Amino acid sequence: MGSLVDIITLDNLESNLPKWDPASANHLYALVDMGSNGIRFSISDLSPPRQRLLKCIYRERAGISLFDALNASSDLSFAPETITLVSQTLARFRSIAVDDFGVLPQNVIVFATEAMRRARNSVDMLEAISSAAEGLKVHILAPEVETLFGSLGARSGFVDVKGLFLDLGGGSVQMTYMDTYAGQSYGKEGYEVAAAKAGQSLPFGAARLIRVLETAGHDVKAAEVSKLQAGMQEAFATLQSTFPSLAETVAKVRNDRSETEGIDVYLCGGGFRGYGSMLMHNDPIQPYPIPSIGGYRVPGSFFCETEKMAKFNVAFDDKIYGMSKRRRSQFPAIVAVVDALIRTVPRIRSVTFCAGGNRDGALMMMLPRDIRECNPLQVAAHLVPTDTMNDGVVDAVMQSVIKTLNDAVPDSSSRTVLNTGLAQLFVRQIWQDLGDDGDSNASAALHHAINREPSCPGMTHFARAMLGLTLCARWGASLGPIDRQLFESLADLVHAEDPDAVFWAMHIGAAAGVLATIIPAWPRTVERLERVVKFQSVVEETDKKRLVNLTVNVNTNSGTTRGLDISSLEGFFQNVARSKKWSNGWKSTKISIRTS
C-alpha cells in the first residue's frame, strides 16, 4: 500500500498516535473512523483538567457504507464514484476541523477498518484522499488494534468495569474481556493491551450477515449461523484460558444455584446499540426517561428476549427512537449475533450499552495511564463552581459535608449518591441556584440529571436517575403533573436496580435541604459546619415497619440560626416514603430537633 498508509499494530501504535501534551496551547483532536456501515467524524477537546471526559465539541456521520460499496463489485474493489465520494467527504471533514475549529493538521487522525483491509484497490482510495484532502493520511487498523480501540472506547464511559466486551460493526464482531480492578496484574502493558491481544474477531458483522440471511438458501444460512455460534464459543473459551478472573466467574456461575452470580456484558457498535434501542422501546419503564443509549443497563433475563424483539421489529411500523431504517433492516442479523452470545455465555447477569467506540478508544490511548484511570465523576464534580476559596479549603469542606450527610444515614447496603461515586457532584449542587424558588429547582434537578453532559463518562442511567431524585428531594420534591411523570419514571429505574434506593434518595435529599437551611451558603470553613449542625441516625425496625430516627443537633447561637423556625425543618421529610410503590417497607423518617 506504499507510503500513503500505515498499518497500525500494537507494536507501532504509540509512534502513530499524536502525543497529548498538557503544556500544549491547542488540545483539539479530530478523528475520522471509516467504518463498514458509515464514516464518523468528531472533534474532541482534551484541555486539562477535563481531558478524561473526552469532551466532544462537534460530530457528524456520513451515511456511506464501505461494506455495501465493496460487495457491490465482483472483485472486492471500490467503484470510482465511491472513491470520489469518500475522498471529497474526508476533504470536507478536514476543512471543518482545520479551517473552522482550528485543529492542528497533525492532530487530524483518520483510521479505517474491515472494508479497507479487504479492498483490492485500497491504494486508489488512499491516493484520492491524499490528493483531495491536502496530504491527509489514513491509518488502517490491524484487527487487534480495532479490538483495543473499540473495547477501550466502550470502557471510557465508566469508572471501573469487569466483564465481556463486544463490538458489532458492519463487517465483523469483536469479543474480549476487561477487568480494571485487576489492572496491576497485567504488568506494563496494562489490561487494555492484554484485552486487545486476547480479543477475537469474527467475520459476522451486521451488514455482512444480513446479506447472507436475505439472499442465501436455507442450508447456507444454517451453516453460517452455525459458524457464528461455534466461533463465539471458541472465542469465549480462549478468553477464559487467558483471564483467570473470567474463568473463576464462569466456575461460580455453574456452581451457584441461587443465580446471584453471573457475567456482566458491555456492548458497543452500531449493531448492538440498535438492539439496545429496541430494548429501551420495550422497557417495562414507560415512558423511559433517559434518551441516550450510553449507560443503559438491562438485566440478562430481559436482554435474552430476542424472539419478542424480532417479532416487534416486524410488526411495529412507526419510528423506533435510536434506530434508522437501515438498522431496522439489519435487525435479524443483529438478533442472530445476540442469540449466539446468549448460547455462549452460561448466565448473563446484566448488559450495559456503551456510547463510546473506536474514536474514544484512540483518544484514551493518547492520554497517560494515570489520567485514563482517574475517576471521571470526580473530574466532572470539580468543574461545578462552588466558591472563590482555594481548592484545598473547598476539598476539606467537601469531605466534611459528605461526612455530615453520611451521619444522617444509618449503616445501609443500599446504593446512594454517597457511596456510588456521586457524592462530590451532589454536594457541589446543594447550594446552587439559591436565587430561584424551590419548586423550580426541584423540577430543574430532574431535567438537568437526564440531559446534563450526555456523554459524560461514569454517568450511567442509574447514576443520572439517583442524582436527579436526590437533588429533587433537596428542594422539597413538590412537582407539577408533567414533572411528576418524569419523577416516577426515574424512581422506577432506580427501584428496579435497588428496591431501597428511592427511599434513601429522598431521605438524603431531605437531609441536604435541612443542612442548606441551617447553613444557607457553601460553608466557608470546616469548623463552621461542624459547630453549627450535626446529624445522628438509627433504624427502628419491627415486623410491620421500618423507619429512620434522625436527630438534628442545631447550634442556635450561630448568626444564621437565630430566629430560624426550627420546627419547619421537619417539612423537608414530608415526601420521604410517601409512595408505597417505592418505599419497600420504609414508613417514614422520624425527625427530632435538638438545640444548643
Averaged pLDDT, 411-433: 93
Contact 485, 462 (CB under 8 A): no
Q: Determine the Cα–Cα distance for residues 370 and 365; give it in Å rounded to an integer.
A: 11
- Find residue 41's DSSP bridge partners: 32, 60
Domain ranges across the chain: 2-142, 158-355, 376-595
Torsion of CA 232, 236, 242, 244, to 10 degrees: 170
* Rounded CA separation 195/154 (Å): 13
Average pLDDT over every residue of 301-316: 98
Highest mean pLDDT among 239-248, 256-265, 375-384: 239-248
Q: Which of 86, 80, 104 is nearest to 36 (CA)?
A: 86
Q: Which stretch of DSSP H or E encloses residue 149?
A: helix 143-155
Is pLDDT larger for residue 593 or for residue 45?
45
Which position has the higher pLDDT, 182 or 507?
507
The model's confidence at residue 5, banded by pLDDT at 50, 70 and 90, is: low
**pLDDT score, position 387:** 60
131-160 mean pLDDT: 93
For strand 200-202 and strand 173-179, is the pairing parallel, antiparallel, or unpaired?
antiparallel
**Are the beta carbons of 67 and 36 closer than 8 angstroms?**
yes
| Sheet containing 173-179: order of strands | 200-202, 173-179, 162-168, 263-268, 348-353, 297-299
Out of 98-107, 176-185, 302-311, least confident range: 176-185
Structure pTM? Answer: 0.92
284: preceding bond cis by omega (within 30 degrees): no
Query: How far from chain centre, in Å, is Cα 154?
Result: 8
Q: Do domains 158-355 and 376-595 have the same CATH topology?
A: no
Average pLDDT over residues 527-547: 87
Please answer whether residues 576 and 503 qualify as being in contact, where contact means their C-beta atoms are separated by less than 8 angstroms.
Answer: yes
With cut-offs at 50, 70 and 90, classify the pLDDT of residue 1.
Answer: very low
Q: Which superfamily does CATH assign the domain made up of 2-142 to?
A: ATPase, nucleotide binding domain (3.30.420.40)
Give the residue from 121, 44, 58 showing the smallest Cα distance to 86: 121
Q: Does domain 158-355 have CATH number 3.30.420.150?
A: yes
| Backbone dihedral angles phi then psi of residue 418, each to the nearest 5 degrees | -85, -20
Give φ, ψ of 297 to 5 degrees. -125, 135
Task: Cell 460553608: give the residue.
Answer: 523
Average pLDDT of the chain to the nearest whole number: 92
Which is it for strands 586-595 and 533-541: parallel, antiparallel or unpaired? unpaired
- Of the pLDDT bands very low, low, confident and very high (cuts 50, 70, 90), residue 126 is very high
Average pLDDT, integer, range 93-115? 95
DSSP notation for 386-432: --SS-HHHHHHHHHHHHHHHHHTS-S--S--TTTTT-HHHHHHHHTS
Pick from 586, 582, 427: nearest CA to 494: 582
- All 3 cell numbers of residue 314? 416486524
- Show the cell assigned to 424: 462530590
318-355 pLDDT per residue, tens = 999 999 999 999 999 999 999 999 999 999 999 999 99
Bigger pLDDT: 384 vs 191:
191
How far apart (Å, rounded) are the C-alpha atoms in residues 497 and 211?
A: 39
- Looking at the predicted structure, is the pLDDT value of residue 464 above 70? yes
Neighbours of 3 (CB within 10 A): 8
Q: Which amino acid is at 358?
A: N
Q: How confident is the model at residue 386 (pLDDT cuts 50, 70, 90)?
A: low
Contacts with 567 (C-beta within 8 Å, 6 or more apart), sequence order? 593
CA dist., res. 541 & res. 537, Å (int): 13
SS3 578: coil
Cα separation, 566 vs 229, whole angstroms = 66
pLDDT (average), residues 546-563: 83
E-assigned strands of 255-363? 263-268, 297-299, 348-353
For 376-595, the fitting CATH number among 3.40.50.880, 1.10.3210.10, 1.10.1660.10, 3.90.980.10 is: 1.10.3210.10
Q: What is the CA radius of gyration of the chain?
A: 26
Whole-Å CA distances, 272 to 112, 135, 354, 359, 459: 20, 35, 9, 17, 20
φ/ψ (deg, to 5) at 6: -110, 135
Percent of the chain beyond pLDDT 90? 78
CB 429 within 8 A of CB 401: no
Cell readout for 580 is: 408505597
Provide the terminal-to-terminal Cα distance of the chain, rounded to the nearest Å: 81
- pLDDT for res 388: 56
User: Does residue 486 contact residue 451 with C-beta atoms inside 8 Å?
Assistant: no
Q: What percent of the chain has pLDDT above 70?
A: 98
Average pLDDT over residues 156-163: 96
Task: Enumerate the H helices of 216-319 as residue ranges.
Answer: 218-242, 244-255, 270-281, 300-303, 306-315
Instruction: Name the pLDDT band for 4 (thresholds 50, 70, 90).
Output: low
Spatial CA neighbour of 429 closest among 381, 393, 462: 381
Q: Predicted confidence band at 315 (pLDDT cuts at 50, 70, 90)?
A: very high
- Comparing 175-184, 435-444, 464-473, 574-583, which segment has the lowest mean pLDDT? 574-583
- Quick check: 58 and 96 in contact, CB under 8 A? yes
360 contacts 156 by C-beta, under 8 angstroms: yes
pLDDT at 3: 58
Is it the case that residue 541 has pLDDT exceeding 90?
no
Quick: pLDDT tens for 257-293.
767 789 999 999 999 999 999 999 999 999 999 999 9
- Please give the pLDDT value at position 391: 72
Residue 568: pLDDT above 90?
A: no
Cβ atoms within 10 Å, residue 101: 13
CA distance 502 to 491: 6
The three grid cell numbers given for residue 293, joined into one nine-digit string: 443509549
